[in-house]
Amino acid sequence: MAKMKAAMAAVLVMEKEGVTQAFGVPGAAINPLYAQLAERQTIGHVLARHVEGASHMAEGYTRARAGNIGVCLGTSGPAGTDMITGLYSAQADSIPILCVTGQAPRARMHKEDFQAVDIASIAKPVTKWATTVMEPAQVPRAFQQAFHLMRSGRPGPVLIDLPFDVQMAEIEFDIETYEPLPVYKPAASRKQIEKALEMLNQADKPLIVAGGGIINADASDLLTQFAELVGIPVIPTLMGWGTIPDDHPLMAGMCGLQTSQRYGNANMLASDFVLGIGNRWANRHTGSPEVYCKGRKFVHVDIEPTQIGRVFAPDYGIVSDAKAALALFVEVAKEWKAAGKLRNWSGWAGECQARKSSLQYLRKTNFDTVPMKPQRVYQCMNNAFGKDVCYVSTIGLSQIAGAQFLHVYKPRHWINCGQAGPLGWTIPAALGVRAADPMRKIVALSGDYDFQFMIEELAAGAQFKLPYIHVVVNNSYLGLIRQSQRGFNMDYCVQLGFENINAGRDEVAVQGYGVDHVKVVEGLGCKAIRVHRQEEIAPAIQQAEAWMAQYQVPVVIEIILERVTNIAMGTEIDNVVEFEELATGKADVPTATAVSMLD
């Protein structure tokens, strides 16, 4: 046993649990913990410009690699409340991050002390556990419990709040004999897997829906192996994009109201059985259960018991970690295939592939207009970036169109906050991904409003040498909200453009678009290029890559778009309206009901 400050015990436990990187903003109430971090020099630290930014950096860090747990640190009061959006985003997508906040001394907590707020109560609805540690001797065990909870069952975030005097108190603690608690993951039984395969065997047109739980469980290889064994097409959710490569013959497209391909929806509507693994039947994927479920049976495999039946009742449910379930699916499927017990679905798989072949190019991208249409931007990105690219994006028409037109070939190469969708998430999340993986080819994608929300975090990228490419598609609009306002026959308070009095004569072409992103980005210590035409995109990307290598800072490529472009979406998976000209030279006629359904 050794005598140490409780804050030192917290740092030592984080080390033992594998933490090597933190993101945060120091302050008076959390300085005792920072003092121990400074003494140990074992956990790297990125100084965010906003504590919400630190929480999103922690998310990006966790999402980038299996086993990572991002840590964000902040002082008392507003630092904790600023982290709430990050905690919500992490909780919604089953992402473990640890938020640690400072707190007023225990004797002052209920006396309206400066920056004293009951952050544990505020954070409870958006965490797996939120606690204020009131006894110094409990600090190491609170951190031990935090890592156990974050990793067990459905992963998720934890907040630990540490009063100043608790951090400073001396305690006895033996770190040499410390061991992390065993992680609990429910696992399917063989009987359950056999039951699911029996139901599958009765189907004529089955599909697998692959959710983000497969990526969280690091089980994408098993998913692809199982799909190939049984010969069944796969529809990934937005959070599961990359579980099977986009160019795999069994990749049947994404289904949904917004982030979907035409062939993905068509294949889902033609199916009669769905095996969902690690997914939550999110409404932007399903639309109404009445349409989505009609004419098909469902088996749902999920790590969280209360998730099964939450949106609609499946015909059969299995509570299991995705990796454990898929390992058993592969094992049993191999035995059944060897014994000739599995049906042959090659004809059905061929039908799905034929839809993909005939429909995947129907949405036109080869527009030559200036200002550019976003569809052409994504065509250029597909041509410029190889299969190793990792995209980071959050919300808006930029993300929706990106999911419709871009391609993902590997797990954890589409880093996206699925349920929460907070504007501003993209920059700090991309920085977190870079901190987790210094070698990955990272391309972030934002509309101009998402980009402006937390643009200050680019300074952290410059200071800490976290280079990546950020593509900003600028239409000077809140594009998704403008499109949804069509249902109200208005275009109100969604325009971002204004005549910038500081626009130089060389910027005449973008006057009226408002913020000069190039000047702002350069002022934050990064590099930026503005692009107007499609033929300028490839040279801009080459220049960005050269600057990243030379300066080791984020590089922004701002692409000026036409102001108004409606992106395909609808109210049901059988009612997605194509607003733009199709590759056939025709356009679907928008209907009054073709309004985006926003979470």
Q: Which amino acid is at 35?
A: A
Instruction: Say how far apart CA 591 and CA 560 lie, in whole Å.
Output: 28
- Between CA 136 and CA 133 the distance in angstroms is 7
Rounded to whole angstroms, the Cα distance separating 520 from 540 reads 18
Which helix or strand (DSSP H or E) is residue 308 part of?
none
The one catalytic residue in 51, 160, 238, 397 is 51
Q: Are 570 and 253 in contact (CB under 8 A)?
A: no
- Which value, to the nearest 10 degrees, does the dihedral of the CA atoms of residues 158, 162, 168, 173 take? -40
**Residue linked to tokens 């356009």:** 587
Cα–chain center distance at 560: 25
Question: Please, are residues 524 and 457 in contact by the beta-carbon 8 Å criterion?
Answer: no
Cβ neighbours for 545, distance < 8 A, ≥ 6 positions apart = 469
Shortest CA distance to 538 belongs to which of 367, 366, 382? 382
Out of 175, 481, 518, 577, pick the active-site residue.
481
CB-based contact 80:99 (threshold 8 Å):
yes
Compute the Cα dihedral for 72, 77, 81, 87 and give only its sign. positive
As a whole number of angstroms, the distance between CA 132 and CA 262 comes to 49
Structure tokens at 319: 């509570």
Catalytic residue from among 69, 100, 471, 478: 478
CB count, 10 Å around CB of 334?
14
Render the burial of 57-79: b for 16+ CB within 10 Å, e for the rest: bbbbbbbbeeebbbbbbbbbbeb
Place of tokens 């225990």: 106
In angstroms, the Cα distances linking 379 to 363, 385, 533, 598 are 11, 10, 13, 26
User: Exposure pattern of 348-362 as b/e (b: 16+ CB <10 Å)?
Assistant: bbebbbebbeebeee
H helix runs in 524-595, sequence order = 537-551
The total of other beta-carbon atoms located within 10 Å of residue 500's CB is: 16
Nearest to 39 by CA among 5, 73, 8: 8
* Length of the chain as a residue count: 599
Cα–Cα distance for residue pair 85/480, rounded to 1 Å: 20
Confirm whether 478 is a catalytic residue: yes
Q: How far apart are CA 479 and CA 565, in angstroms?
A: 8
Cβ atoms 30, 115 nearer than 8 A: no
Distance CA 356, CA 359 (A): 5
Query: Which of 171, 389, 400, 423 is the catalytic position?
Result: 423
Query: Does the active-site annotation cover 423?
Result: yes
Q: Which of 11, 25, 209, 311 is catalytic?
A: 25
The first and second tokens of residue 146, run together, are: 């935090």
C-alpha–C-alpha distance, residues 462 and 192, integer Å: 52
Nearest in space to 435 (alpha carbons), one of 178, 98, 34, 58: 58
Is residue 346 classed exposed, middle or buried when 0-12, 13-18 and 19+ CB atoms within 10 A define those classes? exposed
Terminal CA-to-CA distance of the chain, rounded, Å?
Answer: 51
Active site residue 238: no
What positions carry a catalytic annotation? 25, 51, 423, 478, 481
